[in-house]
Amino acid sequence: MDLRWSAEEQEFRREARTWLEANVPRQPLPSGDTRAGFAAHLAWEQRLFAARWSVVSWPEAYGGRDATLWQWLIFEEEYYRAGAPQRVTQNGIFLLAPTLFAFGTPEQQQRLLPRMAAAEDVWAQGWSEPGAGSDLAAISSRAVRDPAGGGWRLSGQKTWTTRGAFCTHLFGLFRTDPAAERHHGLSYLLLPLDAPGVTVRGFQRLDGDEGFAEVFLDDVFVPDADVLGGVDQGWAVAMATTGSERGLTLRSPGRFLHTAERLVRTARAHPEPTGALRDRVVQGWIDAQAYRLFTLEQVTAISEGRPVGAESSLNKLFWSELDVRLHETALELLGPQAELDSPWSRGFLFSLAGPIYAGTNEIQRTIVAERLLGLPRK
């Protein structure tokens, strides 16, 4: 692994930093998990797209810059360094898009990717169900063949759908062969949330934001053109998406480097922390740097054609628990001020969800035990 940046990469960083410093909103936007905040974030992302910064690693034909994975990491570092707004299009751009590039037909890619890059279509993830939780193979939502219509009829319920109350489209798994065993007979389908038979019901999270939703599907028609990766082949397609979700594409190091730097500034701005609290500030900063180095090693592996596979579970365990530790330390530094509504208090509430979403950390530890360490299943 070579940690030196090339002249081209340094120039890319300079261009990104210059644009971000000139264009990032001076005042923080409202939460993207509220209706008003979501609209404000969309306007920001459309501005990113107009300057070709919304999907830097995508081909130019779809609105990107053909940037390398290294350049994408550089952009992410600069994005968070500049304090730019959270991406409300992340489920589409960071999770569905890599899967579309790997499994989508040319027609699907040409139809879906440009609108995703421009924040015209905003995608929600339809994984969780009331009876399945993090056990993705246990989903019961069904897709029944409609030979006359040339497609599928969907029935069932999805829940914990992040920003589902505001998104325009949903991707998810559906059981197309009820007689098949758990990991078989599933298909990965794409659908608009305004299709006949779809009911979206939003609900509030712990922090009061209203973007979560339950999605009810009652005989919803999906054409064959919106099956991604082949009928009954959904498990392999979904594993590609979860690899992106648990790995580096959803949670790049830039996010945690920025939070660790904020933690150091918070420590400096308050009475000098001593003892264990001081050590935790230092450890948080070291851990963020360690995650960056681990990610750079993974990018090296990908660049050399080595598969990452189940190692994405290590990423998910590390970044989700690091996020909680960083915010807990900040709240202790703040003392009674931590009771007030602030970026730290809101960030702490959100960090508590990290060990749950993208597959609970209990699931990730099981994957690490069985697939990386070779331990017996029971």
Kindly name the residue from 45, 77, 129, 245 that is annotated as catalytic.
245
User: Among 374, 375, 368, 364, which Cα is nearest to 134's?
Assistant: 364
Chain-centre distance of CA 24, in angstroms? 21
Phi-psi region of 57 (alpha: psi -120 to 50; beta: other; left: phi over 0): alpha
The angle, 0 to 180 degrees and rounded to 10, between the axes of the packed helices 69-81 and 275-303 is: 150
Residue 328 catalytic? no
How far apart are alpha carbons 378 and 373 in whole angstroms?
13
In the chain, the DSSP E strands lie at 123-126, 142-146, 151-161, 169-175, 186-192, 198-203, 212-223, 227-228
Helix ranges, 146-274 (H):
234-246, 253-269
How far apart are alpha carbons 161 and 201 in whole angstroms?
10
3-class DSSP assignment, residue 172? strand
3-class DSSP assignment, residue 22? helix
How far apart are alpha carbons 227 and 222 in whole angstroms?
8
The residues that are catalytic are 245
